[in-house]
Amino acid sequence: MNRLTARCLPPLLLLASGCAQLPALVPAEPAPPAVSAPAPAEAPAPLALRPSAPPAAPVTSITEPAPKPAPSDMWERIRNGYAMRPMDTELVRHWENFYASKPAFFARLVDRSRHYLFHIVEEIERRRMPTEIALLPVIESAYNPQAYSKAHASGLWQFIPSTGKNYGLRQNWWYDGRRDVIAATSAALDYLEKLHGMFGDWELALASYNWGEGAVSRAIARNQARGLPADYASLTMPAETRNYVPKLIAVKNIIADPARFGIRLTPVPNEPYFEIVTVQRHIDIKLAAKFAGMPLEEFRFLNPAHNKPVIKAGSAETIVLPRNRVATFFANLENHDRPLVSWQAHTVRPGEKPEKIAASYGMSVAELKSVNNLGSGNKFRAGLPLLVPVREGGTPNLPDLPATPVSLPKAYSTARNTHAKGTQPGKHAVKSTGAKRTPPKRAQSQVKPPASTAKKAPKAKPPAKQAVAASQQKP
């Protein structure tokens, strides 16, 4: 084959032609090596002939970028976890204006929330929920764990007694788990997870948290029967529930860009604020605060679940202490050689008069009534538990006592019917659901928070185009 022919052949024919000219596989007689040059070493087989061997890694491999450092501020951490749909409605803008016009209220929120934000966000992220949920206590209780409503809803997440029991929050004479931030947060997130599983939508889940899953389910069924959309914005609902999600979205938007709304958010460190300490001995709350080196008011604010001046340890209760106070608490507890309890329970016996009870414990009747929050309308009756001092040298009587029974006020169902009828004139009224949530009207906490958080949040004016009752405008 001449050079001209080789140039004109296609590559495959050229390769075939070359292969045809290869020598036969019969070994030929080797030529004697030259004396002046050593024999060349046998060349290794090329890598292409070793299919079992892995290919060598490239020298310039691409390395993955280093993970982002954790934010130092809890507000940034919350922003990073936003996952709910945006909402741009008149009600959202109304509540943005409301909260933005109350910078002092936001300052109090920050002061309260800094105690609990880290724990709550940790739990939310562990469950892979939207971090907007960490802002829900702004709407429920203004981040006051001592908040209490006329429907007996209590705590940061505003559980009424029955719902609290359904989600494992123990309630007795000594302790109310609805005000235990650790226990109530776990219960609230359990409940919200269940609601999201039912409806597959966070707006409907939050509406159910406020109004009740039964009420939301019936509202959805009514719309579906009429061929109407069944999303949150399309349902007929009470005014409180109609405002509920817009309030949360408004707070979310302000936290996302506080400068835009003229709000200054004090940074909250992205680190635990408290530690949980198991109480293994009965102890006075006043003494526990002294052991921790804390003001009594601050101790009560961190531990509002304990109803009485005594922390009863029979049920392995816990207290919450700032991290820098735990070692001090245990050191003082270990060095204390006097009684830890100065209060006990006394159950009124048939025919027993307050004067006799007070005298037997070295109290005046006025002191007995004051300690037990008994006004003129409260009657002494057989079986009524009272808090009284421990007699000197005596063993405290700390029996297991049930929580004082409560009943929802008649105004609860009446208000729901009234607001439901007024929300959508001409539509079918939404009947009382018995939903185990809070009523439209909320009451200020009966226990004062620390001085910096004691002021009541101001009321809002309803937007011009919304028939929203003024009693429902409190954040």
* Range of lowest pLDDT (203-212, 303-312, 336-345, 378-387): 378-387
Hey, which residues are catalytic here?
140
Q: Per the domain annotation, does 458 fall within a domain?
A: no
Condensed to tens digits (0 to 9), the pLDDT of residues 114-146 reads 999 999 999 999 999 999 999 999 999 999 999
Angle 400-300-150 from CA coordinates, rounded to 5°: 75
Query: Residue 68: pLDDT above 80?
Result: no
Q: Do 155 and 298 fall within a single domain?
A: no
Structural domain containing residue 292: 274-389
Do 290 and 258 share a domain, yes or no? no
Residue 322 inside a domain? The answer is: yes
Q: What is the pLDDT of residue 317?
A: 77
160 is a domain residue: yes
Percent of the chain with pLDDT over 90: 64
Q: Over the stretch 295-341, which tens digit does the pLDDT of each residue have?
A: 999 999 999 999 999 999 875 678 999 999 999 999 999 999 999 99
- Per residue in 24-35, pLDDT (tens digit) is 433 444 444 444
Q: Do 286 and 230 share a structural domain?
A: no
Residue 25 in domain: no
In this structure, the answer to whether residues 93 and 225 fall within a common structural domain is yes
| Residues 226, 161 contacting (CB under 8 angstroms) | no
- Mean pLDDT in residue range 164-191: 96
**Structure confidence at residue 379 as a pLDDT band (50, 70, 90):** confident
Indicate whether 249 and 369 sit together in one domain.
no
Q: Which of 358, 389, 420 is the last residue of a domain?
A: 389
Q: What's the pLDDT at 53? A: 53
35 in a structural domain = no
pLDDT in tens, 423-442: 332 232 222 233 344 433 33
Q: What is the CATH number of the domain that holds 285?
A: 3.10.350.10
Same domain, 326 and 260: no
- Looking at the structure, tell me whether residues 161 and 187 fall in a common domain: yes
In this structure, what CATH number is given to the domain that contains residue 239? 1.10.530.10
On whether both 265 and 280 belong to a single domain, the answer is: no
In the chain, % of residues over pLDDT 70:
70
The answer on 246 and 281 residing in a single domain is no
Q: Does the residue 312 lie in any domain? A: yes
- Comparison of pLDDT for 224 and 56, the residue scoring more: 224
Do residue 229 and residue 290 come from a single domain?
Answer: no
Is this prediction's pTM over 0.85? no
- Burial environment of residue 84 by CB neighbours within 10 A (0 to 12, 13 to 18, 19 or more): middle
Inform me whether the pLDDT recorded for 1 exceeds 80.
Answer: no
* 92 lies in the same domain as 228: yes
What is residue 237's predicted lDDT score, i.e. its pLDDT? 98
Does the pLDDT at position 413 exceed 70?
A: no
- pLDDT (average), residues 57-65: 60
284 and 356 inside one domain: yes
- Tally of structural domains, the chain: 2
Whether 27 is covered by a domain: the verdict is no
pLDDT of residue 404: 82
111 vs 155, residue with greater confidence: 155
Q: Does residue 47 carry a pLDDT above 60?
A: no
Q: Per the domain annotation, does 64 fall within a domain?
A: no
